Amino acid sequence: MRAVLALRSWMVVAALGASASAHAQCPTRTLATGISLSTCATHAVAIVDLGSDDVALRGARSSERGRSASAWAGSVDGAAFAVQAGPFSFPSFTPRGLTVGAGEHWSETVDDGTLAVLGFDGRGVGVFVPADRQVPAEPWQETVVSGIPVVRDGVALACHDGGCQPMPRTGMGLSSDGRRLVVVVARAVTDAELGALMAEAGVRDGLRSGSGATSALWDETGDEWVVPSSDGEGRAGAAWLAAVDRSTGEQFRLRGVVGVAGEERFLPDATVTVESVGGEEVASGMPITEGAYWEYRLPVREYVVRAARSGYRTGCKICVGVPGEDVWCSVFLSEGSGAETCTPAPRTLEVGPYAAAPTTPDMGPGSVPVDRDDGGCAAGGASARGWAALALLGLGLRRRR
């Protein structure tokens, strides 16, 4: 039965330095291929391998607002865990800052220059943009989370205003090599302490995406909320983020025909093979009609489709699955011998550079914009100091020049 991970004996973080004895008290288990979860007395750390064929990220759509973590994640096929994905206003459940889930932009949200942005494309390749840069809604955005910056270049940032009050907090960020998404949920910490926990877990750049009663970590095998509310029930929130096990999650139909290049002629006796980008064969067979039509129902991933027939050069094509949809991936062969080579596109994301955000009016010494989320806790909107190059995520990142 799916529920929320139990982390009972919570304590305020007294020391954030790493030690062998502390790590020994944080057992780690695998939730799915490429997704692990470590639970400690004071916090939990989830690690997501963004380059794994079996891993995907799924953000909540605007139409899915107002649900608890368990209610929302329970409706997401293959969800391994779910956490809060950005501060929001109550009772409208409107996120603060640019928010995108399942490729759908929450139309009432924008990056107003007070929050950092953590964005991912459909392959799990993404970027961290500090608060002082303004990110518009763009086609590459499959998942976007906004939040208070708490880690930059591997160093925890100082807390501000409401961020200096110990409370349940959720943070997420990217490793220095860009291959991992690291999520930390802590029981009673300041923003600075959350940032230190994240840096210790390997985060180079990260933000605080949740606080208060909605700062919960759900997984499919637990039995309670990480941070129980006064009545023991999970609190409704706006956007959530789930790490998804593609091998058991959403599927799509991959279909196509095998034909002759440049001709209206088909090859019903060809052989079709579908492989993962790692080279593992996941399906094979021959077309099922005289028109050389073939189809397979598969987990949503990136695939290499190969078609072969005697007297023709083996052809191939790269195709990316879309949840619940039909994806055409026809292959057309040329006469000859040998085989084409299909290499998946590099895991790079060409975005930005983005313009500086408008200057925030001076509201007095030490002041920062403040809003309230469902937990009723002030969330400072301080921007990170200065502009740094966009951080790597996935297997690499290039800035557009």
- Collapsing DSSP to helix, strand or coil, 200 comes out as helix
Can the peptide bond before residue 358 be classed as cis, meaning omega within 30 degrees of 0? no
Looking at per-residue pLDDT, the higher value among 264 and 51 belongs to 264
Domains of the chain in sequence order = 3-247+348-399 (no CATH), 251-335 (2.60.40.10)
pLDDT in tens, 344-357: 877 778 898 999 98
In angstroms, the CA 69 to CA 241 distance is 9
Count other C-beta atoms under 10 Å from residue 399's C-beta: 12
- Cα distances (angstroms) measured from residue 152 to each of 169, 281, 311, 323, 391: 18, 41, 57, 34, 10
For the question of whether the overall pTM of this predicted structure is more than 0.85, the answer is no
* Burial annotation 194-205 (CB, 10 A radius, 16+ → b, else e): bbbbbbbbbbbb
pLDDT in tens, 306-343: 999 999 999 999 998 887 889 999 999 999 999 999 98
In angstroms, the CA 401 to CA 395 distance is 20
- Cα distances (angstroms) measured from residue 289 to each of 292, 293, 296, 302, 401: 5, 5, 14, 25, 48
In angstroms, the CA 240 to CA 381 distance is 20
Lowest-confidence segment of 46-50, 93-97, 222-226, 294-298 by average pLDDT: 222-226
Which residue in this structure is represented by tokens 């209610």? 71
In angstroms, the CA 58 to CA 77 distance is 10
Looking at per-residue pLDDT, the higher value among 363 and 162 belongs to 162
Structure confidence at residue 360 (pLDDT): 56
pLDDT in tens, 54-78: 899 999 999 999 999 989 999 998 8
